Each structure stands twice: as structure tokens, then as C-alpha cells.
């Protein structure tokens, strides 16, 4: 059976998980990792027994690879993705594609010229609960969908770690906005948003946002998102989805699958959804997403999340930001 020779560029928390998943996958071989920080690259490379580099050019020169994950911060995404794509390597890109919609449009345009298979890593589409919600809507069992509500409340640790260089909507809210569009299965008519900025004001970013999305088929989507709660809360990420239609509804609650742990350090609800490690393997949504990417490349078929779909989620985020600034509902910006 064919195996996919892979590499990872960016070995932070998410990139190191990408690397481990490739190393553990039965259809993939991890051949190298890259990070501008030599200590970060060395740590992951030595842990997984593969060469490590600080430059993509060195990876391409010294390693035989077919595909790569790009897990660097979004303001570094374009040059790295394009160096790999121009070398003919298929790509799994972490979201967001760029800090701005214009930047995302530029990257999409440039990538499409290379012809490489490119998937964007919206992992909620690989959560079996969200996938079941999509199947229930597509089957017609929910009747005419009227509303979709999503909540994603993080602790202030997110603001402390990520708020220095990225913002709440583009880094986190984009996941749920993508799910809304996926479930509504309709173009967006307009977006209205309100935001509040206090704790993250020194970074020029928001602490919380409420976003309303009206789709052309009449569905109304609502997102509540924040990274305000203190890090002492039992669940560092509190997420849910509620979809209501004339024939029924679907309801997703939490990311801990009912697990609570009490010890001398306190009471916690560990995340068992996104990238839990059990039986010495990374599992959950992230592992399922990478499995899909590996098989899509090997089979030569389109991935679940295309550049066009990712662009749509970017455009909703962009509209939400413009709406919050103007205090008015706004349409999506067309592709640039």
C-alpha cells in the first residue's frame, strides 16, 4: 500500500501534534520538521526521530516529501506555503490563511496557480458530533432550518498566549462561523457584529464578540465567543452548538464527553474532543482531519475543506469586523 511522505513546518503546540500524528499514522512517513526556532525544531525532530531544520529550503533539498503541513502563525503563512507549493508539495494549511481577507485572497490565488492539492484545517468538520449534525440536516430530518447558535468561550489564557499576535474572531471564531455556513448551506446575505475590548485592548484586539449571520435561504446564525473567563474555570474551552428546524434540532454540548476529574489541584473537565492523547496516540478531531488529508492525497481526490470554503469563512470574519467598526450590518466582500 502507498504511503505519504510528509513534513511539518512550524513546531509549536499544533504543529508538533501534526508531526506526531504523521509519525503515528499507518499510511504516512514523517520525513522532517522545520521551525525558525532551532530549539523547537530540534525538540520535535529528536522526539520523533526525524531530521530537523530552520529553513524550508533545507528541508526541500535534503528530504524526499510529497506533502506538508504548514502550522506557522498566519502572518508567515504565504511565503512558506508558496515555497512548498512551487516545489510541487501538497499542503495542509492551518487556519486562518492570513491575518486579513486580502491576504487570504492573495494566497488562494497564488496557490491555485500551482495546481497542488490544498486543504485547510477546519477540524470541527471532522468532529463526529458536528458531522452527524450535518448529516441530520442534509437528510431532511430537521425540516426547514431556522436558527444555528454556536458558543465558544475560552479562558483568559487564550488572550495571554495568542492575543499578542492574533485576534479572537480570526483565530477561534472562524471555526464556528465555518460550521454555520456548512450547516446553512447557503450564501451569506449580511453580517452584524458587536465586540468589546478591555483586557485585550493593549494588543488592539477584542475580548468578546456576538455575531449574527443572515443567510440567503433565511437561516439565522448566532455566535457568542470570548476569552475572558479566569483560567480557574473547570473547562478551559466551553463550546456548544444548537440548531433548530421545523422537524427537530441537533445539540452539541461541551468538549469533555462527560468526563470530570477532581484532585488536589482542583476540578477539571479535560478536552477529549480536539486532540486528546490516549493509549499513546493523538486522537480526536485533529487526528481525523490529518487522516482525511493523507487519504485525499494518496487517492487523488478533493479534500473536505477547500480553499473556496476557507475563503468563505474568512469573508464572514472580515464582515463581522467591518460591522463592529461601522455599527451596521454589512455584506461579504467579493473575492479580490
How does pLDDT run across 287-334, given as a tens digit for each residue? Answer: 999 999 999 999 999 999 999 999 999 999 999 999 999 999 999 999
**What pLDDT is recorded for position 256?**
86
Residue 99 has what DSSP assignment?
A: S
pLDDT classification of 1: cutoffs 50, 70, 90: low
Q: How far apart are CA 254 and CA 262, in angstroms?
A: 18
pTM value surpassing 0.75: yes
User: Average pLDDT, stretch 121-133?
Assistant: 97
- 161 CB-near residues (< 8 Å, 6+ apart): none
User: Average pLDDT, stretch 77-86?
Assistant: 98
Render pLDDT for 165-180 as a digit per residue (tens, 0 to 9): 899 999 999 999 999 9
DSSP character string of 179-191: HHHHHHTS-EEEE
Cβ count near 157 (within 10 Å) = 16
pLDDT classification of 84: cutoffs 50, 70, 90: very high
**What pLDDT is recorded for position 255?**
84
Render pLDDT for 241-276 as a digit per residue (tens, 0 to 9): 999 999 999 999 988 888 999 999 889 999 999 999
Render pLDDT for 210-246 as a digit per residue (tens, 0 to 9): 999 999 999 999 999 999 999 988 888 889 999 999 9
Cell 486522537, residue?
283
Render pLDDT for 139-193 as a digit per residue (tens, 0 to 9): 999 999 999 999 999 999 888 888 888 999 999 999 999 999 999 999 999 999 9
> Phi, psi (5° rounding) for residue 258?
90, 0
**What pLDDT is recorded for position 165?**
86
**What pLDDT is recorded for position 234?**
87
**What pLDDT is recorded for position 258?**
86
pLDDT classification of 36: cutoffs 50, 70, 90: very high
Q: What per-residue string of b and e applies to 44-76 under the rule 16 or more CB within 10 Å gives b?
A: bbeebebebbeebeebbeebebbbbbbbbebee
Q: How far apart are CA 8 and CA 6, in angstroms?
A: 7
Whether 93 contacts 328, CB under 8 Å:
no
What nine digits make up the cell of 252? 452539541
**What pLDDT is recorded for position 81?**
98
Render pLDDT for 49-68 as a digit per residue (tens, 0 to 9): 999 999 999 999 999 999 99
As a whole number of Å, the CA-based R_g of the chain is 20
pLDDT at 336 over 80: no
Q: Is 10 exposed, middle or buried (0-12, 13-18, 19+ CB in 10 A)?
A: buried
Q: How far apart are CA 327 and CA 319, in angstroms?
A: 11
To the nearest whole percent, how much of the chain has pLDDT over 70? Answer: 100
Amino acid at each position: 500500500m502507498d504511503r505519504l511522505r510528509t513534513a511539518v513546518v512550524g513546531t509549536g503546540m499544533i504543529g508538533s501534534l501534526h508531526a506526531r500524528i504523521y509519525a503515528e499514522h499507518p499510511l504516512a512517513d514523517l520525513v522532517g520538521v522545520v521551525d525558525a526556532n532551532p530549539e523547537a525544531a530540534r525538540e520535535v525532530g529528536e522526539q520523533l526521530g526525524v531530521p530537523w531544520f530552520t529553513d524550508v529550503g533545507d528541508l526541500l533539498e535534503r528530504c524526499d516529501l510529497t506533502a506538508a503541513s504548514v502550522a506557522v502563525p498566519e502572518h508567515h503563512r504565504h511565503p512558506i506555503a508558496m515555497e512548498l507549493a512551487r516545489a510541487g508539495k501538497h499542503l495542509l494549511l492551518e487556519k486562518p490563511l492570513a491575518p486579513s481577507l486580502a491576504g487570504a485572497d492573495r494566497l488562494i490565488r497564488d496557490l491555485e496557480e500551482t495546481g497542488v492539492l490544498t486543504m485547510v484545517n477546519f477540524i470541527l468538520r471532522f468532529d463526529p458530533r458536528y458531522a452527524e449534525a450535518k448529516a441530520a440536516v442534509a437528510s431532511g430530518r430537521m425540516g426547514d432550518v431556522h436558527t444555528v447558535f454556536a458558543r465558544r468561550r475560552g479562558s483568559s489564557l487564550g488572550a495571554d498566549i495568542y492575543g499578542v499576535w492574533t485576534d479572537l474572531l480570526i483565530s477561534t471564531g472562524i471555526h464556528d462561523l465555518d460550521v454555520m455556513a456548512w450547516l446553512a448551506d447557503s450564501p451569506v446575505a449580511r453580517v452584524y457584529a458587536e465586540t468589546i475590548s478591555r483586557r485585550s485592548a493593549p494588543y488592539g484586539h477584542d475580548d468578546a464578540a456576538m455575531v449574527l449571520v443572515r443567510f440567503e435561504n433565511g437561516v439565522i446564525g448566532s455566535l457568542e465567543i470570548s476569552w475572558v473567563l479566569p483560567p480557574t474555570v473547570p473547562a478551559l474551552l466551553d463550546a456548544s452548538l444548537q440548531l433548530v428546524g421545523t422537524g427537530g434540532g441537533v445539540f452539541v454540548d461541551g468538549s469533555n464527553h462527560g468526563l470530570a476529574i477532581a484532585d488536589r489541584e482542583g476540578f477539571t473537565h479535560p478536552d477529549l474532543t480536539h486532540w486528546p492523547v490516549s493509549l499513546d496516540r493523538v486522537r480526536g478531531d485533529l487526528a481525523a482531519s490529518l487522516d482525511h488529508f493523507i487519504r485525499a492525497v494518496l487517492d487523488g481526490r478533493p479534500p473536505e475543506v477547500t480553499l473556496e470554503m476557507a475563503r468563505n469563512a474568512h469573508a464572514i470574519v472580515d464582515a463581522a469586523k467591518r460591522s463592529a467598526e461601522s455599527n451596521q450590518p454589512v455584506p461579504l466582500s467579493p473575492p479580490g
